[in-house]
Structure 1
Amino acid sequence: MKYTTKIVVDKPIVEVTKKINSVDNMKHWQEGLISVEHISGTPGEFGAKMKLKYDFGNRKMELIETVTKNELPKKLYLTYSTKGIHNIQQNYFQSIGESQTEWISKSEFQPTTFFMRAMLFFMPNAFKKQSLKYMTNFKNFVEHGTSVNYATT
């Protein structure tokens, strides 16, 4: 399954891409994120890997994030792998004037199990909704300092 999501952040591209490329900021816009562990490579650079752990109440998830291209402030490509699914994400950033940034995210989900293939088929909007939620959380964090990590606000 492939889809594209977009959002405009009311901050300059340099500020937006600096914040999106910071591991320390992830907890403020990725709801459910409980830990980040560096595995290999230079953080933020091609080939770098991190283990991300999430807790969504009744569902826990662990993913491996790999940087596949970092040409910020214009592009950031990442892959996420977990049991049952592989996610390829291409993020593009474009200045709109001096004070706004358009973030376009192209996502491709590749199921590796029958269960995840069924989830993608029957619930594609759940994946799109989650992507847009994280983008909106990021926008709110960058523009207003609003964090989804209530322990740190």
Structure 2
Amino acid sequence: MKYTTEIVINLPREEVIKKLDSPENMKHWQRGLIKYEILKGTPGKEGAQMKLEYKMGKRDMVLTETILKNKFPEEFHATYDAKGVHNIQQNYFTELENGKTKWISKSEFQFAGFGMKLMGFLMPGAFKKQSLKYLTDFKNFAEKGTSVSEES
């Protein structure tokens, strides 16, 4: 399953990247993030891996992020692996007029196992909606300082 989401952030690209490229900021725009842990490599560099732990309602989820390409401020690509799911993310950041930034995120999900394949087939909109929610939460954090970690 492949799709693209995008959002315009009312900040210059350098400011967007500075806020995005900080693991400490992830809790402010990634709902359910409990903790992260560097597994190998230099954080932010190609080949680096990080474990991300989330609490989604009553469900716990663990992802492993592997950085494929870090060419900030223009682009950032990574994979995210969880049980039954391999997610490839390609992110592009374009400077717009009036100090704005367009973030284009290309997502590809590859599913293993019947259950995950069925979920991907029956609920593709849920995946796109979740991706757009992350972009929107980041926009609100970057522009207004609104943090999802302060919500109950």
TM score, norm. by length of structure 2: 0.98
Output the CA distance in 1 between the equivalents of 2:14 and 2:98: 10
Secondary structure of the residue aligned to 2:4 is: strand
Taking only aligned residues, the RMSD between alpha carbons, in angstroms, comes to 0.8
Identity of aligned residues (%): 58
Amino acid at match of 1:136: T
Structure 2: give runs of 5+ residues left out of the alignment. none
2:45 match = 45
Which residue matches 2:121? 121
Q: Matched residues in 1 for 2:22 and 2:127: separation?
A: 24
Partners of 1:113 and 1:12 lie apart in 2 by 42
Question: TM-score with structure 1 length normalisation?
Answer: 0.97
The Cα shift of 1:93 comes to 0.1
Greater helix share, 1 or 2? 2
**Structure 2 partner of 1:76:** 76
Q: Alpha-carbon deviations, 1:28-82, whole Å to 9, x = none?
A: 0000000000100000000000000000121110000010000000000010001
What is the Cα deviation at residue 98 of structure 1? 4.5
Per the alignment, residue 14 of structure 1 pairs with 14
Runs of 4+ deviating beyond 6 Å: none
Tell me the equivalent position of 1:138. 138
Q: 2:105: which partner in 1?
A: 105
CA distance in 2, matches of 1:64, 1:8: 27
CA shift at 1:128, angstroms? 0.3
